[in-house]
């Protein structure tokens, strides 16, 4: 498995360990990603955000959020990252008071995105960082979420309608894919006692945040169009990692 340069790896490791999160700007982030593969198909990958399905679970409160979802897994000790059959996204009410305790079936990520070099590169990078922070190489359950938020002049878009929250996983990568005619959208990170630990705005493609979900809460302010007469969108890739126990093989009878 490809590894990060020692200085970059240590910097990210220290930030996440000490603060529970790290912000990486688009310039350094591109360099880090390219240690794990190609971004040559990034433009085609980003174009798939124009074909996301409406999040029907939020349709009652507005249709500003579109998304697709898919799942991967990786066994321990540097095993390949493998696609899993399409399955629901589930969070308990403890983590999502708005939509917890239900299986949410979202439209799958399109094949051209799920099999792209860019997505493989992003997942490989994320896995390397999080395994370094965890100081372990567990079996991972990996979920990929494509989000598009489309605000309107009379109705702001809510990137995190559940408010300040945790996702119920171990680690989260949030990567900006595109941002057009968008105002606001500030990410803030909070400790369990509510104190703000930091804030930043994902403003350029490949701006990224890495979060240790078990330690901190995160949320994003509502977004609005800069020019109310023009379309607006905020496109984000979210990749979550949850360690799962290895299931021993069943002994023959």
Has residue 203 been placed in a domain? yes
Residue 33 lies in a domain: yes
> Is residue 17 classed as helix, strand or coil in its secondary structure?
helix
With respect to residue 173, please indicate whether it lies within any of the assigned structural domains.
Answer: yes
User: Is 249 within the bounds of a domain?
Assistant: no
Q: Left, alpha or beta for 13 (phi > 0: left; psi -120 to 50: alpha)?
A: alpha
Tokens representing 9 are 């790896």
Can you give the CATH number for the domain in which 39 is found? 2.60.120.620
pLDDT of residue 253: 39
Mean pLDDT per 10-residue interval, the chain, length 253 residues: 76 91 96 95 98 76 79 87 89 51 84 98 95 92 96 87 86 98 95 93 97 94 95 97 72 42
Q: For residue 168, which phi and psi values (nearest 5 degrees)? A: 80, 25
Which is it for the CA torsion 49, 53, 56, 61, positive or negative? positive
Give residue 89's pLDDT. Answer: 72
Please indicate, yes or no, if residue 252 is contained in any of the structural domains: no
Residue carrying structure tokens 């901190």 = 216
Its domain, for residue 102, covers 6-182+191-244
Q: How many domains does the chain have?
A: 1
Residues 252 and 180: beta-carbon distance below 8 Å: no
Give a yes or no: residue 251 inside a domain.
no
> pTM for the whole thing?
0.90
235 contacts 50 by C-beta, under 8 angstroms: no
| pLDDT score for 151 | 93
Give pLDDT, residue 1.
58
**Within-domain flag for 66:** yes
Q: Do residues 146 and 54 make contact, with C-beta atoms less than 8 angstroms apart? A: no
């Amino acid at each position: 498995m490809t590894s990060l340069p020692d200085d970059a790896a240590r910097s990210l490791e220290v930030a996440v360990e000490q603060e529970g999160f790290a912000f990486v700007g688009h310039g350094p982030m591109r360099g880090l990603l390219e240690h794990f593969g190609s971004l040559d198909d990034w433009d085609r990958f980003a174009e798939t955000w124009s074909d996301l399905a409406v999040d029907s679970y939020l349709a009652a409160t507005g249709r500003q959020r579109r998304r697709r979802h898919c799942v991967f897994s990786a066994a321990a000790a540097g095993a390949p990252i493998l696609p899993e059959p399409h399955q629901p996204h589930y969070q308990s009410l403890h983590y999502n008071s708005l939509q917890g305790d239900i299986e949410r079936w979202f439209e799958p990520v399109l094949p051209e995105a799920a099999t792209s070099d860019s997505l493989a590169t992003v997942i490989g990078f994320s896995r390397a960082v999080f395994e370094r922070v965890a100081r372990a190489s567990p079996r991972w359950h990996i979920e990929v979420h494509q989000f598009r938020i489309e605000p309107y002049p009379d109705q702001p878009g809510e990137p995190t309608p559940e408010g300040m929250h945790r996702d119920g996983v171990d680690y989260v990568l949030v990567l900006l894919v595109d941002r057009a005619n968008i105002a606001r959208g500030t990410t803030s990170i909070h400790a369990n006692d509510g104190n703000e630990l930091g804030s930043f705005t994902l403003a350029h493609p490949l701006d990224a945040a890495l979060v240790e979900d078990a330690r901190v809460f995160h949320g994003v302010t509502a977004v609005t169009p800069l020019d109310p007469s023009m379309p607006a969108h905020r496109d984000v890739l979210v990749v979550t990692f949850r360690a799962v126990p290895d299931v021993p093989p069943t002994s023959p009878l």
